[in-house]
Structure 1
Amino acid sequence: MSSSLYSIGLSGLQSSTARISTTGQNTANVDTEGYSRQSTSTVSVSGGGVRIQDTERVVNQYINQQLWSDTSTYNYYESYHSMMSSFDAIFGEESVSISTYVDNAFSALQTANSDPTDSAARSNAYANLDELVAQYNELADYISTQKNLANEEINDSIDTINNLTSQISDLNSQIYKLESSTGSTANELRDTQEQLVKELSEYLDVKVKYDDNDLMTVNLASGQPLVLQGSSNELRLSSDSSNPDNELSISLDFGKYDVGVTSEDLGGSVGGLISFRNEFVTSAERMLGQQALVLADTMNTQNQLGLDADGGYGINLFSTGAINVTPNANNSDSDLTISAQVTSGSSGDVTTDTYEVVMTSATAFKVVTYDVSGNITGESDNVDITGNTGQPYEVEGLGVSITLDPASSYASGDKFQFIPTKNAASTLDLSARSGDDLALAAPIAVSSSSSNLSDVEIAISSITNTDPSSSAFAQSGGLYPSAPQTLNFTASDEMEVLDANGNVLATVTGITDYSNLLEQAGLADDAGFDISLDGTPTAGDTFSMSFNDSGEADNYNGLLLANLQNASTVGGTQTYSEAFTSLVTEVGSLTASLSTNADSSEVIMNRSEAARDEISAVSLDEEAVNLLRYQQSYTASAQILTAAQSTFATLISALG
């Protein structure tokens, strides 16, 4: 009996000692981050006594996984929101708003229109246009800087991720070695490993499982393994040179080959940064570029239809850089090239999409457009330009012209991508040399004969073309002799159109509408201009049209330039200022949405952490109660040993 009491008392002492030791370990690590409280379990021994079974961590892996997932979600929104907050602060500032610079430039242009002979007013208008260009360049540079900043943060994060996964895999090896040699659980190593996973989840959305040896495997949300037993696969960051946006992409290095990882599955701060970099920055860059492109094209087109301060034809006020075209890596010949340019006067059709030219034969192609997310937004008709390679071909409805290289041999399936708006804001430049290049005057002058019986006045209704090769305007100035120069009304509803030599170019009868008379005569397209009367003329009335040799004080074209400020030119629906306001609104809306998502996801993450702590964190109150219990148990076991000793002594005395 005493032998059994000794065994029971001793095992009780050992059990209580182990539990007290576990309680001490828990208490000592109450403030240790990632520590999971431990519990020593025992089993009853047949014949009496207790045996220590194991000391295990108190964890719930489902709750841990939920915490890691919620941590990833929060960090995705937080990193994205952090980058967007900077954007919102800059683009929402009125002093840097494109709208402010547009207002200043067009106000100065209106001042110049009030006296086109005032060189100081012209110089001021020129200076304000230059400031507008500089602001486009500055905002484009800011966007580029933010993109580079995101690149640097992503690079640093990838290095950190690879370091964390390497540590996790190393711990797998240590855990296996320790547990297989001692038969006990490597609690502290597993705590450290799970803490590393929590840190990893700040960068990526990861899924954790355990293999047959109870070793941790870590996978990306898309399923690719980051950690397998004692090895880890590193993430690699690269940019896609075949993509005109040069988007960042991430791949998983398996040694002999790499596997691409889609950015939608990344999560965490890296996912947020890549979404910011590849989606928002790309969109903002294109939207700002579209505005700059339309400004340059519409102002250039209108300026070319007037006469400058020296009486010469208007030149381009602005320029933008050449459009970069990226050949597909799988083309039939790696040296194949095409060129693309915005069709003059058609910038309103240009979208922020990616344009892809797909060769359907050696001399035919179609253009497919894609939005920022890669979804098809449109497709042109098939274009066959047999015999016209080397010449720009306008793609109807898309605002661009494509030129094939006559020295290249294209094959069906060859592809080329470009983004017309990508670099337009950063490369926008004021190509005008001074305010004198502002073509404020109309290229023609019109007048009514002093001998006319009616008081009807003639006016310019439109100027559409001043190109000497395709209009009535001569290269050195003036109108070609064969151009329409006189209207002679033989009756109130009949007229003859005469050239400089009095030859009848056209006769029109039955006139009821006195607007666009050259169009009614079928001469407007060739002339490049048209005129209208403000009433019904009398038979014998004549009206003349001549080159505007003395139009220094004329502001006809200047007013049309100024009116572009309020024209729906960007995308055919917005003014210059409205388009920028749309960008500012998008920035503000996205920033606010991300802020809301970051706040709500933080609440959810904190709840998951509280749920984890409720199970696994150390409670000093609970440990104090346990310590008293185990001390009492220890004391009781000691008393059992004392009783056993007394009983044994009594037995010995009785035998003696």
Structure 2
Amino acid sequence: MSSNLYSIGLSGLQSSTARISTTGQNTANVDTEGYSRQKTSTVSIEGGGVRIQDTGRVVNQYMNQQVWSDSSDYHYYDSYRSMMSSFDSIFGEDSVSLTSYIGDAFSELQTANSDPTDSSARANAYSNFREMVAQYNELASYVRDQDSLAKDNVVKSVSTANNITSQIAELNAQIFKFESATGGTANELRDNQEQLVKELSSHLDVKVRYDDNNLMTVNLASGQPLVLQDRNNALQLTTNSDDPDKALAVKLNFGKYSVGVPSDDLGGSIGGLVAFRNEFIPSAERMLGQQALVLADTMNEQNKLGLDANGEYGNNLFSVGQIDVAASGDNRRTSDSVDVKLTSGAADEITTDTYELVMTSNTAFKIVTYDQSGRISDESDVVDTATATPNANGYFEVDGLGIEIQLTGANYTTGDKFQFAPTKNAAATLSLSARSGDDFALSAPIEVSSADSNLSDVSISISSVSNTDSSDSAFTQTGGLYPSAPQELFFTASDTVEIRDANGNVLDTLTNITDYSNLLGQSTVLSTAPNTPPGYDVSLNGTPRAGDSFSIAFNASGESDNYNGLKLASLQNQASVGGERTYSEAFTALVTEIGSVSASLATNATSSEVVMNKSVAARDEVSAVSLDEEAVNLLRFQQSYSASAQILTAAQSTFATLISALR
């Protein structure tokens, strides 16, 4: 009996000692990050006494997984938000706003219109347009810098994630070795492993499972394994060469092959940075580029319709760089290429979409456009280069899309594809082609007048100038009007007019006139082949009388004329960007988009942080060390130890009494 009592007391002492030791370990690690409190479990021994079963961690794997998932969500929004906040602060700043630069440039252009002969006013306008162009370049450069910064951060995060998964795999090996040799649980190693997973979850959305050996398996949210036992699969960052934006992509390297990881499933800071780089950066770059393209095209086209300070036809005021085209890696011959140009005067048709040229045969193609979500937004008719007629530059125009295509290879195959984004580099490559303020074509190329002998006081005015190209208008290449061009309106009656050329020949007669605006446009003869539309039109402000005559002539001495200058200035208020917005409104739309995205991300980051903190608190209620609880346990186990010692004392006393009795 005393022997059994002795065993009971001794096992009680051992159990209490183990529990006191566990309590001390918990107390010592109260502030250790990632530490899970431990608990010593015991079982009763048949015949009396207690046996220490195990000292294990108090954890709830469901709660741990929730902490990791919520951490991934928070860091996704926080990394995206941190990049966007920089955008918001820059683009929202009035001092760098393109709206101000555009306003100042066109204000100075209006000043120059007040006196087209004032060279200093022209110089001021030129200087302000140069500053406006520089600001487009500056903002485009900032977008590209943020692009590079995001990519650098992704590279660092991927490297960190690979290092973490390597450590987790190494810990798996250590845990297996320790637990196989001792039969116990590698508590501290498992704590370290879970802490590494928490750190990994800030970079990626990961799911954790345990295999038959209770070793950790780490998978991406999309299912691909990052860690299997003592081996980790490294992440690789790549770019899509077929994509004009060179979108970032992540692959998982399995040694002999790699598997792509869906960017939408990455999560964490890597997912946020990739989304920022692949979604927002192209959108901002293209919206800015669209504005630059439209401004350059509309200003260039209008400037060509006037005369500059030297009395010469206006030239392009702006230029943009070439459109980069990416050939698909699946094309039969990657050496075959495509040249793309914007159709002059059709910039309002250009969108921020990605354009894809698809060969439908070895000579025919069509254009398919995709929006930022990858959905088809438009599709052109098929253009067959074997039967279609190219323009004077050898390009084939694609109706409705504002672009011209030239195939520069010779061995295209059905299914070959080429992608490009016309607006991508436009803001970065926008430049001022004009050499000075004298290049602003402020004057009209024609002048109109009423004959002194007219019986009415009706006056004539220029209603439009639409074309000054000598190949298909009334204007000569060297400056002047062709003799066969309309140059006189002679009314034989108040509602009948003869349209005459320079030699008095009647080109057409209009009768029963009720509307005296755009008179040349009312002639079907002038606009019907083989005649060439003159490229200009005139209007009268009233009803003339028989015998009235009005002349049209080349504006050889009209340097003080501001007809075309007013047209140039009016472009500021025309909804030409996408056919919906003015130059300034388009930039405001970009700023609004940036602000909206930033605000949404800030809200999501705040709410996801709250959720993450609640998950951490719920996990800590189960696994974290409570000093109050440990103090109670310490007191309880000390008392248990003392009681077990008393049992030993009683057993010894009993045994001594029995020995004495036997003597």
Indicate the TM-score class for this superposition, using the shorter chain for normalisation. over 0.9
Structure 1 segment 153-552 matched on structure 2, within 5 A: 153-387=153-387, 388=389, 391-405=394-408, 407-522=409-524, 523=526, 526-552=533-559
Matches within 5 A, 1:2-13: 2-13=2-13
Q: Deviations over 1:532-577 (max 9, x none)?
A: 1111111111111100001110000000000001000100010000
The one-letter amino acid of 1:395's match is V
What per-residue deviation string (whole Å, max 9, x for no partner) do you get for residues 213-271 of structure 1? 00000000000100000000000011111110011111000000010111110110111
The superposition leaves residues 623-650 of structure 1 with CA deviations (integer Å, 9 ceiling, x where unpaired) of: 0000111111111111111111111111
Q: Deviations over 1:88-110 (max 9, x none)?
A: 00000001000000000000000
Matches of 2:575 and 2:47, distance apart in 1:
95
CA distance in 1, matches of 2:410, 2:566: 46
Percent identity reads: 70
Structure 1: unaligned runs, 5 residues or longer: none
In structure 1, the residue matched to 2:633 is: 626
Paired amino acid for 1:72: S
- Identify the range of structure 1 (438-447 vs 489-498) with the bigger mean alpha-carbon deviation: 489-498
CA contact (8 A) 1:391 1:404 kept: no
Q: Counterpart in 1 of 2:574? A: 567
In the other structure, the counterpart of 1:80 is: 80
1:166 Cα deviation after fit: 0.1
Q: Matches of 2:413 and 2:644 in 1, distance apart?
A: 91
Q: Is the 8 A contact 1:446 1:545 kept in 2?
A: yes
Report SS of the residue matched to 1:403: strand
Please list the CA deviations of residues 125-158 of structure 1 after superposition, one character each: whole Å capped at 9, or x if unmatched: 0000000000000000000001111111111111
Query: Aligned equivalents of 1:192 and 1:45: distance in 2?
Result: 34
Whole-Å Cα distance in 1 between the matches of residues 383 and 454 of structure 2? Answer: 53
Distance in 2, Cα, partners of 1:419 & 1:600: 36
3-state SS, counterpart of residue 643 of structure 1? helix
Structure 1 CA distance, aligned partners of 2:361 and 2:289?
A: 32
Task: Give me the whole-angstrom Cα distance separating, in 2, the residues matched to 1:126 and 1:408.
Answer: 45
* 8 A Cα contact 1:337 1:408, kept in partner: no
Q: How many residues end up aligned between the 2 structures?
A: 655
- The corresponding residue for 1:110 is 110
Provide the C-alpha distance between the structure 1 equivalents of 2:459 and 2:356, rounded to a whole number of angstroms: 51
Cα drift, residue 384 of structure 1 = 2.4
CA distance in 2, matches of 1:326, 1:88: 31
Matched-pair contact (CA < 8 Å) for 1:77–1:597: yes
SS of the counterpart of 1:336?
Answer: coil
Mean CA deviation greater in 329-338 or 60-69: 329-338
Residue 131 of structure 2 is matched in structure 1 by: 131
486-495 vs 81-90, which moves further: 486-495
Q: Does the alignment pair 1:600 with 2:602?
A: no
Paired residues for 1:21-170 under 5 Å: 21-170=21-170
Aligned residue type for 2:645: A
Report the AA paired with residue 578 of structure 1: E
| Displacement after TM superposition at 1:373 (Å) | 2.3
- Per the alignment, residue 653 of structure 1 pairs with 660
SS of the residue corresponding to residue 476 of structure 1 reads coil
Cα offset for 1:383? 2.1
Which whole-Å deviations, capped at 9, do the CAs of 1:383-441 have from their partners, x for residues lacking one?
22324467222212111111223x52322211111100000000000000000000000
SS in 2 for 1:54: strand
Matched residue of 1:527: which SS? coil
Q: Which amino acid aligns with 1:83?
A: M
Letter in 2 for 1:560: K
Alpha-carbon distance in 2 for matches of 1:363, 1:86:
48
State the Cα distance separating 1:362 from its structure 2 match. 2.2
Q: Structure 2: which amino acid aligns with 1:485?
A: Q
Matched position secondary structure for 2:177: helix
Q: Is the 8 A contact 1:517 1:530 kept in 2?
A: yes
- Residue segments in structure 2 that go unaligned for 5+ positions in a row: none
- Aligned partners of 1:341 and 1:400 also within 8 Å: yes
Provide TM-score, normalisation by structure 1. 0.99
Please say which of residues 357-366 and 14-23 is displaced more in the overlay: 357-366
In 1, Cα distance between equivalents of 2:303 and 2:144: 31
TM-score where L is the length of structure 2:
0.98
Greater CA deviation, 324-333 or 178-187?
Answer: 324-333
Q: Given residue 404 of structure 1, which amino acid in structure 2 is its aligned partner?
A: L
